[in-house]
Structure 1
Amino acid sequence: MLYPSIDSLMEKLDSKYTLVTVAAKRARQLQLHNDTPIEKPVSYKFVGCALEEINAEQLSYKQGVAEEDSKHQ
């Protein structure tokens, strides 16, 4: 069984695409700084730590408008 489960993660974010994007961006940040707020993460890999942070609601995201979409408005 994977931790955290995809079901619990999907309750935190609006789509699987958003989940992958947020987790990947945070994993890249962890590679550089390794500053996770989780005291004892279950995973030792950066993507796993990022998913644990999402599950613990330590990460948030703000949905933006794409540059191309804003030109048409």
Structure 2
Amino acid sequence: MTPHMAERRPTMMDPPVESLLERVDSKFTLVTLAAMRGRQINSYFNQLGEGLGTIVPPQVTSVSRKPLSIALEEVAAAKITYHRPTDEERAGEAAEGEEQ
């Protein structure tokens, strides 16, 4: 190993958190996105024997059986993304809620 190369320490996290944070704007967004997708994947696995469902199956091939790990792999592979609503979109949703 050459002295100018940074040594990468092994971690239990794969994909590494640093690479995941490059795909989102904050740690909070990463946690929220992975949790939401992990619940969807868990629901998908639970309804497998019941016929066609509305939940999207995992978008990556994974050796993991844990929904959250699969969700993080999807984030790392840019298979899932997020959309942060603008102020105008939030105002429109609030107005629609008041009309009902």
The structural deviation recorded for 1:37 is: 1.4
So what's the TM-score if we normalise by structure 1?
0.82
Find the counterpart in structure 1 of residue 59 from structure 2. 37
**Which segments of 5 or more consecutive residues in structure 2 lack a partner in the other structure?**
1-10, 46-56, 95-100
The answer to which structure, 1 or 2, has the higher relative contact order (CA under 8 A, 6+ apart) is 1
Q: 1:52 aligns with which of 63, 73, 78?
A: 73
Aligned equivalents of 2:77, 2:86: Cα separation in 1: 27
Percent identity of paired positions between Structure 1 and Structure 2: 37
User: Highest CA radius of gyration, 1 or 2?
Assistant: 2
Aligned equivalents of 1:65, 1:26: Cα separation in 2: 22
Find the counterpart in structure 2 of residue 4 from structure 1. 15
Are 1:24 and 2:35 counterparts? yes
After TM superposition, which residue ranges in structure 1, 4 or more long, deviate above 6 angstroms? none
